[in-house]
C-alpha cells in the first residue's frame, strides 16, 4: 500500500497536465483498499478512483483522495467447450490483457488492441473499437462499495451498457470501485472484421488472432499519437447518433459522409469527419491542437492548460453544431 500527501498527478494523466491531489492512495489487494476506505483521515474527503488516466482532464488540484489499483493478476475461473472465463484485476493494463488473450488463442478481445487504460476502466467506460465493445466480452464486474466497503458482483446485464456508457457513469457514479472483471472469451475461432477497412488491411494475410491484432495496432499507431510523446486522451469526442431522417438530409448535401447504421432508425456519424469538414484538423488554439492525423484527438502541444484544451473542445463543438446542426460531446471526463 502506498499513501502520499500533496502528490503530483502529472504522470497519472495522459494529457500531461500538472495537478496535485491532497492524498494519493494506491493499494495492492482488496484488504488494503478496505483499510483505505475505513481510514478516518479520509472519511470526510471526496474520493475519485483513476485507472491509467487516459480518459481524464484534471482542471484543478483535487482536494480529496485519488485512489489507484495496483492489482494486476489474471486467473482462470471456468471453461467449457466453447468459452473460457478469465478474471482480470482492475489495475492490469488493458492491452496486456488483450495480448494475453491473443497469446492463449482466446477470441473476442483482439479488436480492442492498444486502447489505453486499465481493466477496471474498461468496464466503466465500455471501451470500444472496430465494431466491438467491452460489454461484448464482459461476464461480471466485481466491486467494492465506497460507502461501506462491502463487496458486490454485477452481471453484465445489470450494468446497463450503451455506447461509452454504463451505470457506473450514471446511477452508480461514485458509489463503487471496480476491483476486477470476469470476461467470457470464445475458444472457437471467431472474428469481427466488417468494421472500417479491416478486411482490406488483411486481404493478403492469413487471418488469425495475431494478424488481426497486428493490423489493428498498426492502424491505431498510424492515427493516434503516442501519449508518452504527445499529451492526449485518445478520442476526445464521442461519435454522435442521429435519426435516419436527419442523416438522409445530411447525405443529400454531403454525399460522402461516412456512417454506421445502429438500427433502422439511428445512424452513427464519425465525429472526426465532422470536425475535419469544419477545417480543424491540424489546427491550434493556444497550446492545444487538433491532431493532424486524426481530428477526433486533441493534443497538448507541450504547455497546454486544461482551460486551453476545454476552450478548443468548446470551439470545435460549436463549429460542428453551426455547420451540421449536430451536437458532439466529450468522451473525456473533467475533474
- The per-residue pLDDT for 102 is 96
Among the ranges given (97-101, 107-111, 129-133), the one the predictor scored with the smallest mean pLDDT: 129-133
Give me 98's grid cell: 488483450
Residue of 110, 133, 235, 308 marked active site: 235
Q: Which 3-state string (H, E, C) describes 139-161? A: EEEEEEECCCCCEEEEEHHHHCC
* pLDDT value for 263: 85
State yes or no: is 26 an active-site residue. Answer: no
pLDDT per residue as tens digits for the range 174-197: 999 999 999 999 999 999 988 767
Q: Which residue has the higher pLDDT, 202 or 162?
A: 162
Instruction: Based on the residue annotation, tell me whether 331 is a catalytic residue of this protein.
Output: yes
Where does the pLDDT of residue 155 fall: very low under 50, low under 70, confident under 90, or very high at 90 and above?
A: very high
Q: 172 — alpha (psi -120 to 50), left (phi > 0) or beta?
A: alpha
Assess contact for 55 and 233: CB atoms under 8 A. Answer: yes
Q: Which segments of the chain does DSSP mark as H helices, in order? A: 30-38, 94-103, 119-125, 198-201, 209-223, 244-253, 271-277, 306-324
Q: How far is CA 238 from the centre of its chain?
A: 11
Average pLDDT over residues 24-38: 96
> pTM of the entire structure?
0.91
pLDDT band at 223 (very low <50, low <70, confident <90, very high): confident
Rounded distance, CA 294 to CA 292, Å? 6
Residue 259's contacts (CB-CB under 8 Å, 6 or more residues apart) are: 247, 251, 267, 268, 269, 270
Give the pLDDT confidence score for residue 264 in this predicted structure: 82
Given pLDDT bands bounded at 50, 70 and 90, which one contains residue 201? confident
- In the set 35, 79, 164, 259, the catalytic residue is 164
Reduce the DSSP state of residue 218 to 3 states and report it. Answer: helix
pLDDT band at 310 (very low <50, low <70, confident <90, very high): very high
Q: What percent of the chain has pLDDT over 90?
A: 87
143-164: burial string, b at 16+ Cβ within 10 Å, e else: bbeeeeeeeeebebeebbbeeb
Is the model's pLDDT at 228 over the cut of 90?
no
Amino acid 13: pLDDT: 95
- The pLDDT of residue 314: 98
Q: What is the distance between the alpha carbons of residues 256 and 227, in angstroms, rounded to a whole number?
A: 31
- The per-residue pLDDT for 202 is 85
- Please give the pLDDT value at position 148: 86
For the sheet with 260-261, list strands across it: 241-243, 266-268, 260-261
Query: For residues 30 and 179, is the Cβ–Cβ distance under 8 A?
Result: yes
112, 129 Cβ separation under 8 angstroms? yes
The reported pLDDT for the residue numbered 71 is 98
Instruction: Say whether pLDDT at 132 is over 90.
Output: yes
Instruction: Supply the pLDDT for residue 169.
Output: 94
**C-alpha span between 321 and 323 (Å, rounded):** 6
The reported pLDDT for the residue numbered 216 is 92
Residue 6 region by backbone torsions, left for phi larger than 0, else alpha for psi between -120 and 50, else beta? left
pLDDT(260) > 90: no
pLDDT band at 219 (very low <50, low <70, confident <90, very high): confident
Confidence of residue 267 (pLDDT cuts 50, 70, 90): very high
Annotation marks residue 164 as catalytic: yes
DSSP 8-state code for residue 73: -
At 197 the pLDDT is 76
Reference 195, options 110, 126, 252; nearest CA is 110
Q: One of 30, 110, 308, 331 is an active-site residue; which one?
A: 331
For the chain, give the mean pLDDT: 94
pLDDT of residue 206: 87
Per-residue confidence (pLDDT) for residue 232, from 0 to 100: 95
Amino acid at each position: 500500500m502506498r499513501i502520499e500527501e500533496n502528490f503530483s498527478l502529472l504522470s497519472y494523466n495522459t494529457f500531461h497536465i500538472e495537478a496535485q491531489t491532497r492524498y494519493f492512495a494506491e493499494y495492492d489487494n482488496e484488504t488494503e483498499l478496505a483499510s483505505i476506505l475505513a481510514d478516518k483521515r479520509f472519511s470526510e474527503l471526496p474520493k475519485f478512483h483513476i485507472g491509467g488516466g487516459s480518459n481524464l482532464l484534471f482542471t484543478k488540484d483535487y482536494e480529496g483522495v485519488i485512489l489507484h489499483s495496483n492489482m494486476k493478476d489474471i486467473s482462470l475461473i471456468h471453461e467449457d467447450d466453447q468459452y473460457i472465463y478469465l478474471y482480470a484485476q482492475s489495475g492490469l493494463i488493458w492491452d496486456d490483457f488483450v495480448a494475453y488473450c491473443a497469446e492463449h488463442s482466446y477470441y473476442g478481445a483482439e479488436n480492442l488492441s492498444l486502447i489505453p487504460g486499465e481493466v477496471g476502466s474498461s468496464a466503466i467506460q465500455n471501451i470500444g473499437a472496430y465494431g466491438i465493445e467491452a460489454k461484448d466480452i464482459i461476464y461480471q464486474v466485481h466491486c467494492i462499495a465506497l460507502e461501506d466497503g462491502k463487496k458486490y458482483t454485477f452481471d453484465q446485464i445489470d450494468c446497463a451498457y450503451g455506447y461509452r456508457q454504463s451505470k457506473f457513469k450514471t446511477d452508480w457514479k461514485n458509489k463503487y470501485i471496480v476491483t476486477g472483471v470476469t470476461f467470457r472469451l470464445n475458444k472457437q475461432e471467431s472474428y469481427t472484421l466488417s468494421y472500417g477497412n479491416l478486411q482490406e488491411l488483411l486481404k493478403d494475410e492469413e487471418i488469425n488472432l495475431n494478424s488481426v491484432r497486428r493490423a489493428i495496432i498498426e492502424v491505431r499507431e498510424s492515427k493516434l499519437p503516442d501519449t508518452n510523446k504527445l499529451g492526449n486522451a485518445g478520442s476526445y469526442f464521442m461519435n454522435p447518433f442521429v435519426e435516419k431522417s436527419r442523416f438522409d438530409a445530411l447525405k443529400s448535401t454531403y454525399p460522402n459522409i461516412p456512417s454506421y447504421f445502429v438500427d433502422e432508425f439511428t445512424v452513427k456519424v464519425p465525429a472526426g469527419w465532422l470536425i475535419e469538414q469544419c477545417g480543424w484538423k491540424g489546427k491550434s488554439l493556444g497550446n492545444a491542437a487538433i491532431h493532424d492525423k486524426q481530428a477526433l484527438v486533441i493534443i497538448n502541444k507541450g504547455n497546454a492548460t486544461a482551460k486551453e484544451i476545454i476552450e478548443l473542445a468548446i470551439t470545435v463543438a460549436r463549429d460542428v453544431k453551426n455547420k451540421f446542426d449536430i451536437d458532439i460531446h466529450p468522451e473525456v471526463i473533467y475533474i
